[in-house]
Amino acid sequence: MGVPLLDMSRQYAYLKAELDAAVIAVLTHGGFVLGPEVTMLEQQVSQLTRVPHAVGVASGTDALLVALIAAGVEAGDEVITTDFSFFATAGVIHRLGAKPVLVDIEEDTFNLDPGLIEAAITPGTKAVIPVHLFGQCADMDPIMAIARRHNLIVIEDAAQAIGSEYRGQKAGSIGDMGAFSFYPTKNLGGAGDGGMITTNSDEFADACAMIRVHGAKRKYYHDMVGLNSRLDTLQAAVLLVKMKYLNDWSLKRQQWAARYNEAFASRPEIRTPVTKDYATFHIFNQYTIVVNNRDEVVEGLRKAEIGCMIYYPVPFHLQPCFAYLGHAPQEFPVSGRVAQSVLSLPIYPEMTQDEQDEVIEAVIKLAR
């Protein structure tokens, strides 16, 4: 039968009337750049994450980049982050001429290991970017304690974690700033690129709003050099429609995750994702298992036309573009190991039970 990794046409099928109307409304009013829907979405995201400010930008990558600029990170500074994430997390640090200082991860959560941060701090360290990978928050209490002790700014990479909670606090509300992505495959996905920064700080919010319009507070008067990075009104309109469903979708993902966990529970060769006590709301942007014969399982699933993906096959320290950091191949043993054994399975709200059963059966047959 086959199961897609993700099928966005199913969501469009039941949201078609609402989405079409929302898009036509923007085409009709014509406020394409920073129009009313952008402000409305910013308000809704700030309510959802329980922070006073949210600033829409052009992508999740730009959310990280703008937040780093607002934090004052400049060429020559050091920024600590995980060795295991989507490329953008480390890419934005490099883009500013700063140095990505990589730290290994926890084997069970795939998130940055807080116990390794302190040893990575130098007088040049300016900020830390923990990533809430696959929808589960990183262990923020120890991360924040270390950051406060050393005067470091914390930018949460919450691109995969909208609505996720750490001990009851929303992702994006714990650090100094949070960066979200509305890339179509995220839990709240647009019809193209989009992103948002959340913050409790009036100063950071002002800075981000200025940076996204070329650094001008008043049009054509520039106190600083920023960039052109706005969330399109059309994207905001699409996202506003989907916001209403976001919580239900996250609950549905949790149900699918629980069902996978149950099906794989008696199979020690399939390590299911670990949800920590502190992850009081895990949004399962991905459902990621660990299997020893990962590449064989991938091949088998592809033959059966069952969607799967390796997030991520190459940790940052092994990326050719970061060879200049001078890391040895074995330097981050956990992320090195994890990159060779992780596999993400289909987990989207519109998946059917029959489809999930097909995935389960195939994985059990293939894993050793």
Ligand X SMILES: *Cc1c(COP(=O)(O)O)cnc(C)c1O
Within 10 angstroms of residue 97's Cβ, the number of other Cβ atoms is 11
Closest approach of ligand X to the CB of residue 132, in Å = 8
Provide, rounded to whole angstroms, the least separation between the CB of residue 104 and ligand X.
17
| Of residues 193 and 355, the one with the C-beta less far from ligand X | 193
Question: Could you identify the residue written with the tokens 């959310």?
Answer: 63
Least Cβ distance, residue 352 to ligand X (angstroms): 26
CB of 136 to ligand X, least distance (A): 12
Give the residue with the Cβ less far from ligand X, 46 or 61: 61
Residue 240, number of CB atoms within 10 A of its CB: 16
Least CB distance to ligand X at residue 170 (A): 17
Q: Cα 8 to chain center, whole Å? A: 18
Phi, psi at residue 168, to the nearest 5°? 80, -10
| Residue whose beta carbon is closest to ligand X | 60
Q: How far is CA 62 from CA 38, 126, 212, 298, in A?
A: 16, 19, 9, 32
Contact positions vs ligand X (CB under 6 A): 59-61, 85-86, 88-89, 131, 157, 159-160, 181, 183, 193, 195
DSSP assignments along 54-123, one per residue: EEEES-HHHHHHHHHHHTT--TT-EEEEESSS-THHHHHHHHTT-EEEEE-B-TTT-SB-GGGTGGG--T
- In the bound state with ligand X, the residue whose beta carbon lies nearer, of 101 and 366, is 101
Quick one: 175 or 270, whose CB is closer to ligand X?
175
In the block, residue with structure tokens 């200082």: 101
**328 burial class (0-12, 13-18, 19+ CB within 10 angstroms)?**
exposed
Q: Tell me how far, at minimum, the Cβ of 183 lies from ligand X, in Å.
A: 4
Tell me the closest approach of the beta carbon of residue 85 to ligand X, in angstroms.
5
Amino acid, res. 156: E
d(CA 123, CA 133): 28
Least CB distance to ligand X at residue 272 (A) = 21
CA pseudo-torsion sign 109, 182, 96, 52: negative
Spell out where the chain has E strands: 53-57, 78-82, 99-103, 125-129, 153-157, 165-166, 169-170, 177-181, 195-199, 216-218, 221-222, 287-290, 342-345
Those residues with Cβ within 8 angstroms of residue 110's Cβ, 6 or more apart along the chain or in another chain? 84, 133, 134, 288, 338, 342
Q: Which is nearer to ligand X, 171 or 359 (CB)?
A: 171
Q: Which is nearer to ligand X, 171 or 263 (CB)?
A: 171
Spatial CA neighbour of 56 closest among 176, 181, 144: 181
Nearer to ligand X, 84 or 256 (CB): 84
Question: Nearest Cα to 186, choosing from 368, 309, 60, 72?
Answer: 60
82 vs 356, which CB is nearer to ligand X?
Answer: 82
CB of 96 to ligand X, least distance (A): 15
Q: Which two tokens stand for residue 276?
A: 């920590």
Nearest to ligand X of 286, 356 (CB atom): 286
